[in-house]
């Protein structure tokens, strides 16, 4: 069954590259007009919008720090003013500042929490206020297998991603009565520039520990996002969908 998002207006944060980029393009391919957010790389966002326009979709570049409430509110307001009422929000923006806890600087802990968890909270809050009044909408939050399992050297990232799961469940309960669905996706190890830079022995170990014996692709995550945003997922809320090849099972 084809997933049709015709008429939808979507906002994807952290969409200049990687998973966010492919989610934005997959939403556009399904029929949505897409606002593309990033913090620093405006040219990358513009390239994503240009790809969507080739599909006949409207697009918008919205630069903002998702950890800054004033910037987030202005971003959401601009999206609705220029593209129309938001029906889909994908909270994907994120950074890493890896180190073991004993050596981790508090500023690095705070930076990861701010972008991932605070950012997801702020963007969801701004969008939910509008969706709540309209009694419709879908919020999708990017968590991680690391948020479900933990990972040495990534306590800040694991804490943020675990927090996103709790935030997702709470928002689903708060907004469900007004027809707004909130779900999360927890990717496993995905083939991105970050994982491509890992030593070959590390990548081999990841594959060996993944029941499907492969690393996932950004397209795998994007497909899950399109499904959760689609009418076919109308009775799904409060879940965290693993896209991890069984790694988190």
10 Å Cβ neighbour count for 27? 29
CB 11 within 8 A of CB 81: no
CB 44 within 8 A of CB 20: no
State mean pLDDT over 62-89.
Answer: 98
Which member of 109, 121, 157, 189 is catalytic? 157
Write out pLDDT tens, residues 127-179: 999 999 999 999 999 999 999 999 899 999 999 999 999 999 999 999 999 99
**Cα–Cα distance for residue pair 66/63, rounded to 1 Å:** 9
β-pairing verdict for 137-142 and 59-63: unpaired
Residue 1: which pLDDT band, with cuts at 50, 70 and 90?
low
Q: What is the pTM of this model?
A: 0.96
Residue 2: which pLDDT band, with cuts at 50, 70 and 90?
confident
pLDDT of residue 37: 98
| Active-site residue flag, 157 | yes
What structural domains and CATH numbers belong to the chain? 9-237 (3.40.50.720)
CB 129 within 8 A of CB 79: no
Write out pLDDT tens, residues 182-213: 999 999 999 987 778 778 888 888 899 999 99
**Cα–Cα distance for residue pair 37/34, rounded to 1 Å:** 10
């Amino acid at each position: 069954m084809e997933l049709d998002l015709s008429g939808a207006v979507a906002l994807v944060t952290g969409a200049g590259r990687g998973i966010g980029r492919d989610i934005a393009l997959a939403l556009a391919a399904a029929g949505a007009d897409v606002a593309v957010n990033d913090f620093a790389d405006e040219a990358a966002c513009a390239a994503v919008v240009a790809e969507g326009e080739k599909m006949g979709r409207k697009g918008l570049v919205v630069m903002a720090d998702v950890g800054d409430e004033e910037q987030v509110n202005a971003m959401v307001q601009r999206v609705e003013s220029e593209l129309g009422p938001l029906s889909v929000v994908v909270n994907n923006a994120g950074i890493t500042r890896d180190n073991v806890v004993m050596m981790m600087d508090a500023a690095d802990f705070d930076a990861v929490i701010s972008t991932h968890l605070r950012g997801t909270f702020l963007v969801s809050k701004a969008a939910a206020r509008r969706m709540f009044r309209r009694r419709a909408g879908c919020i999708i939050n990017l968590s991680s297998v690391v948020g479900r399992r933990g990972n040495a050297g990534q306590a800040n990232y694991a804490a943020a991603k675990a927090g996103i799961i709790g935030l997702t469940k709470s928002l689903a309960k708060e907004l469900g009565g007004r027809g707004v669905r909130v779900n999360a996706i927890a990717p496993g190890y995905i083939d991105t520039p970050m994982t491509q830079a890992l030593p070959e022995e590390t990548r081999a170990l990841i594959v060996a520990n993944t029941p499907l014996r492969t690393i996932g692709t950004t397209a795998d995550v994007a497909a899950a996002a399109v499904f959760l945003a689609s009418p076919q997922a109308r009775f799904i809320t409060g879940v965290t969908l693993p896209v991890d090849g069984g790694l988190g099972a």
